[in-house]
Amino acid sequence: MKLNTDAETMMSDNTSAGAAPWTNGIARWSWWISLILILSGFALSVVAGSLRPDDAFALLYVAIGALGMTIVFRVPDNPVGWLLLGSGVLAAIQTLATGTADVLLTARADDPILGFGAALFSVAAWPVITFLPLIPVLLVFPDGALLSPRWRVVMGLASFGIAGTAVGLFVHDDPDGDGSRWGVRNPLANDFSETWLAVTFSLVLIS
């Protein structure tokens, strides 16, 4: 029995050792791709003449993604690293979408459908990007597990609130806030969006 146990342990160790390069490679490439996407988004905004000082906030997620990548290298089974890395990747996609919208809706207006889609994604993604590194990560920090099963309720409310806020922005009348960047209005606008956003964002704040 002891020999079997030792053999199983060795097989498990070998499997883990073989899996590490895969996880390290995924994490490393995810970070590099996110960096390239952010720089590409900046370049598009510069071409459109629409780059803003607050766009540099995306660089913070380069650091957050790097932190997540480092955690994945050391503890690949810990979801904290993957959550941080994922928020960095999503922020990079949002930055690229912002730059795409700048070009299509500001510099040239011959493809408003694609431009509006990029703008809508850029705006609707911010709740996930903003709160993913905060609430879910803090709830499972540092070992990747909730303090107790009771915290599943908090995690569920937070997740629903974050996702619900993103959905609400998809159907909000003015997804660009004050409409100053692109000057577009949402054709998917729904009168219920204000109430929906108030409820879902309250869940995020309560969590």
Taking only Cα atoms into account, the Rg of the chain, rounded to an integer number of angstroms, comes to 21
All residues at 6 or more sequence positions from 151 whose CB lies less than 8 Å from its CB, including other chains: 139
One-character DSSP codes across the chain: -HHHHHHHHHHHHHHHHHHHHHHHHHHHHHHHHHHHHHHHHHHHHHHHT---GGGGGHHHHHHHHHHHHHHHHH-TT-HHHHHHHHHHHHHHHHHHHHHHHHIIIII--S-HHHHHHHHHHHHHTHHHHHHTTTHHHHHHTTTTS-SSTTHHHHHHHHHHHHHHHHHHHHT-S-TTTTSTTT----TT--TTHHHHHHHHHHHHHH-
* Peptide bond between residue 21 and the one before it cis (omega within 30 degrees of 0): no
Confidence of residue 46 (pLDDT cuts 50, 70, 90): very high
pLDDT at 137: 86
pLDDT of residue 166: 84
Average pLDDT over residues 41-61: 91
- The residue extents of the domains of the chain are 2-206
Integer Cα distance of 56 and 173 in angstroms: 26
Q: How much is the average pLDDT of 119-140?
A: 85
- What is the tens place of the pLDDT at every residue in 145-196? 888 888 888 888 888 888 888 888 877 766 555 555 777 666 666 777 777 7
pLDDT digit string (tens) for 1-11?
A: 443 444 344 33
Q: pTM, whole model, 2 decimals?
A: 0.79
Residue-averaged pLDDT of the chain: 80
Residue 108: pLDDT band by 50, 70, 90 thresholds?
Answer: low
